[in-house]
């Protein structure tokens, strides 16, 4: 009898072992879930989309409080470099990424256009207009193509220059020196702007060229779109290139630029969308530019802004969290675009981005 009881007790212990293993497994899963409950992602790069990203990250965190995403607007060049060094989870660039840069990233890289907008020439003539009754500054100054090239070459140095006056008949522009303001950091905004100048001016192309950092002939520099904007606000007679939202938020006037068709166009959702319609994003990397649009109503300086992710992530939870955010950004996030001065992605581009996102961590 004692032997039977011993056998039953032994069998009971044996039966309990699988149950204990299952319970331990469940407890382990619960612990893992607690560990991944709060997810942090870090990104850095272009200042061009920063106001929109800030809105997105705040809205997304409200809906998904366990996902914390931080983004630092340090410029496209610095953002790409941090992606190459592996110190961020994602980057942002207004010029995407070059094949050479991508080749340095062993984990692979995927470029995703998440928004688009215009680069504008913002200026500051307000103090002069207020102090000089004889000065009659138009609500929008019109700048011919060759004129704004020559301003940034340092060849046109005063606001009442005959070529500016000829494009703005019936007004009296001030006898005031033009102070050019440009970026000091490696900038996708600079690259897009100088690509445009190179496309419309052989002189600019041969003397200066295009790039995220160039040797400026004239002017003072500021860091980021916010730095350039601040200098334009501070300096009477200043003119500089910034992403439209920075001019809009700081109530700076922006010039109407002559496009390839000879029309003076201000940056509006319609004129920017006209330009984007002509941009065909290739299926392999979704990166393309149009440096001098031909549309009669097209605003001439427009670009997408790209979010750059790794192809492979050691932490699959982070990968999934980033994919979830991007999927949200191309649908729900686009609703904030027009309000802030950006251009929502077309349905075709959204589909392209959604398809590319699936490749993350495959």
pLDDT, one tens digit per residue, over 343-359 is 999 999 999 999 999 99
Distance (Å, rounded) from C-alpha 359 to C-alpha 340? 30
Distance (Å, rounded) from C-alpha 137 to C-alpha 29? 68
Q: What's the burial of 231, exposed, middle or buried (CB within 10 Å: 0-12/13-18/19+)?
A: buried
Distance (Å, rounded) from C-alpha 230 to C-alpha 232? 5
pLDDT, one tens digit per residue, over 202-238 is 999 999 999 999 999 999 999 999 999 999 999 999 9
| Cα distances (angstroms) measured from residue 242 to each of 56, 187, 211 | 21, 11, 16
Q: Which is nearest to 261 in space by CA: 246, 244, 275, 248?
A: 275
Distance (Å, rounded) from C-alpha 136 to C-alpha 239? 18
Q: Answer whether residue 130 shows pLDDT above 70.
A: no
106-139 as b/e: b if 16+ CB within 10 A: eeebbbbbbbbbbbbbbbbbeebbeeeeebebbe
Give the mean model confidence (pLDDT) for residues 104-114: 97
Is residue 167 within 8 Å of 222, Cβ to Cβ? no
Q: What is the pLDDT of residue 20?
A: 37
Other C-beta atoms lying within 10 Å of the C-beta of residue 149: 20
Using a pLDDT cut of 70, give the percent of the chain over it.
87
Q: Which is nearest to 89 in space by CA: 54, 136, 42, 50?
A: 42
SS3 state of residue 222: strand
Distance (Å, rounded) from C-alpha 303 to C-alpha 345? 12
């Amino acid at each position: 009898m004692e032997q039977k009881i011993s056998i039953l007790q032994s069998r009971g212990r044996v039966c309990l072992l699988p149950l204990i293993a299952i319970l331990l497994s469940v407890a382990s899963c619960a612990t893992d879930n607690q560990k991944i409950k709060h997810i942090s992602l870090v990104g850095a790069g272009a200042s061009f989309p920063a106001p929109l990203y800030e809105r997105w990250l705040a809205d997304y965190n409200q809906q998904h409080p366990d996902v914390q995403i931080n983004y630092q607007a340090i410029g496209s060049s610095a953002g790409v470099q941090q992606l190459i060094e592996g110190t961020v989870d994602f980057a942002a660039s207004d010029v995407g990424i070059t094949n050479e840069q991508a080749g340095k990233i062993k984990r692979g890289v995927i470029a995703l256009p998440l928004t688009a907008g215009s680069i504008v020439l913002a200026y500051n003539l307000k103090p002069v207009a207020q102090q000089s009754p004889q000065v009659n500054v138009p609500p929008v100054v019109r700048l011919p193509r060759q004129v704004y090239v020559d301003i940034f070459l340092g060849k046109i140095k005063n606001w009442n220059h005959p070529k500016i006056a000829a494009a703005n008949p019936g007004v009296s522009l001030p006898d005031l020196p033009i102070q050019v303001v440009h970026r000091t950091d490696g900038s996708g905004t600079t690259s897009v702007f100088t690509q445009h100048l190179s496309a419309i001016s052989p002189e600019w192309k041969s003397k200066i060229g295009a790039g995220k950092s160039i040797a400026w002939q004239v002017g003072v520099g500021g860091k980021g779109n916010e730095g350039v904007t601040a200098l334009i606000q501070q300096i009477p007679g200043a003119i500089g290139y910034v992403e439209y939202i920075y001019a809009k938020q700081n109530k700076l006037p922006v010039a109407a630029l002559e496009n390839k068709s000879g029309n003076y166009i201000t940056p509006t959702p319609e004129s920017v969308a006209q330009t984007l319609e002509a941009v065909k994003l290739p299926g392999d990397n979704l990166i393309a530019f149009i440096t001098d649009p031909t549309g009669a109503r097209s605003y001439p300086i427009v670009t997408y802004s790209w979010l750059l992710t790794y192809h492979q992530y050691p932490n699959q939870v982070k990968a999934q969290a980033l994919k979830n955010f991007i999927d949200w950004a191309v649908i729900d996030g686009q609703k904030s675009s027009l309000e802030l001065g950006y251009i929502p992605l077309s349905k075709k581009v959204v589909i392209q981005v959604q398809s590319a996102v699936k490749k993350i961590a495959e």
